[in-house]
Amino acid sequence: MSISFDFESLSERERYKLMIGTVVPRPIALVTTVDENGRINAAPFSFFNCLSADPPILALGVENNPDMSFKDTGHNIRMTEVFTVNIVSFAIAEAMHVCGSKYPRGVDELKHAGLTAVPGTKVASPYIAEAPAAFECKRHVTLELGKSRQIIMGEIVYAHYRDGVVDPERLRVDPAALDAIARLGGDTCSTIRDRFEMLTPKL
Ligand SMILES: Cc1cc2nc3c(=O)[nH]c(=O)nc-3n(C[C@H](O)[C@H](O)[C@H](O)COP(=O)(O)O)c2cc1C
């Protein structure tokens, strides 16, 4: 026996539940931005991944607020054309969650979460000192999907790593030192601590 769903007949909420429970694990970007007055904002996004290395492109799926206004992240990227993706380690999982709360525009979530903003090198948005890695991005293109969601693609222009996370000679990122967490369905998250090696068979 199997269970099937006609996606064209499901509600938006039903599609969402099946998609986020099925496409797992999803990495979490803790996105830092600034508004047009330089005020810092931070929010997590798990509709997130890297899509291309040449050019080096990351994508975020940013939904609008229920009243169709832009989330602060979407607004700020629209206004400043830059953002920073901070990778979320287990050590800052709780702090990331604090940043996911609906604070009014202009409130610096990093202060509430006890995280430290460090000025960006090439972009106006800061990166988070406690994050194991951070990518500074310039907006590349924004796709409007329907009336309530944007796919925002950014080109990585600068990267920061905490000591011990990347081998500076071989550019190998240590997954144990990164200790990134991921989002599964519902409110469930996971670590990525159970790993194995697989070599592509040589033909
Ligand atoms: C782990 C996690 C992942 C999330 N992923 C997304 C996402 O991919 N897209 C989205 O629009 N909101 C996502 N959210 C919700 C936003 O973080 C939330 O709406 C936040 O308040 C937006 O903040 P802002 O208005 O400061 O941008 C996620 C929340 C959490 C906790």
Give the chain's domain count.
1
pTM over 0.75? The answer is: yes
Residue 114 belongs to domain spanning: 13-188
> What's the 160 CA to ligand 1 centre distance in angstroms?
23
Among 71, 83, 181, residue to substitute to test ligand 1 (most atoms within 8 Å of Cβ): 71
- Tens digit of pLDDT for each residue in 4-29? 999 999 999 999 999 999 999 999 99
- Residue 88 falls inside a structural domain: yes
- Residue 28 falls inside a structural domain: yes
> What's the 174 CA to ligand 1 centre distance in angstroms?
27
- Per residue of the chain (203 residues), what is the pLDDT tens digit? 799 999 999 999 999 999 999 999 999 999 999 999 999 999 999 999 999 999 999 999 999 999 999 999 999 999 999 999 999 999 999 999 999 999 999 999 999 999 999 999 999 999 999 999 999 999 999 999 988 999 999 999 999 999 999 999 999 999 999 999 999 999 999 999 999 999 999 99
C-alpha to C-alpha distance for 181 and 192, rounded to whole angstroms: 6
DSSP codes of every residue in 51-89: EEETTEEEEEEEEPPTTSPPPHHHHHHHHHSEEEEEE-B
Q: Which residue pairs, CB below 8 angstroms and at least 24 apart, start in 174-180?
A: 177/132, 178/87, 178/89, 178/132, 178/133, 179/89, 179/90, 179/91, 179/132, 180/27, 180/28, 180/87, 180/88, 180/89, 180/132
The pLDDT score that the predictor gives to residue 136 is 98
C-alpha to C-alpha distance for 56 and 156, rounded to whole angstroms: 6
- Residue 202 falls inside a structural domain: no
Other Cβ atoms within 10 Å of 117 Cβ, number:
18
- Residue 201 falls inside a structural domain: no
The pLDDT score that the predictor gives to residue 1 is 79
Question: Which tokens sit at 177?
Answer: 């030192």
Report which protein residue has its CA nearest ligand 1's atom 23. Answer: 43
- Residue 71 falls inside a structural domain: yes
- Residue 1 falls inside a structural domain: no
Please provide the average confidence, as pLDDT, over all residues in the chain: 97
One-letter amino acid at 82 equals V
Question: Which tokens sit at 164?
Answer: 């011990």
Q: Is 100 in the pocket of ligand 1 (CB under 6 A)?
A: yes
- Residue 203 falls inside a structural domain: no
Q: How many residues make up the chain in this entry?
A: 203
> What's the 112 CA to ligand 1 centre distance in angstroms?
16
Helices (H) and strands (E) in the chain, counts: 5, 12
Q: Is 59 in the pocket of ligand 1 (CB under 6 A)?
A: no
CATH number (domain holding residue 52): 2.30.110.10
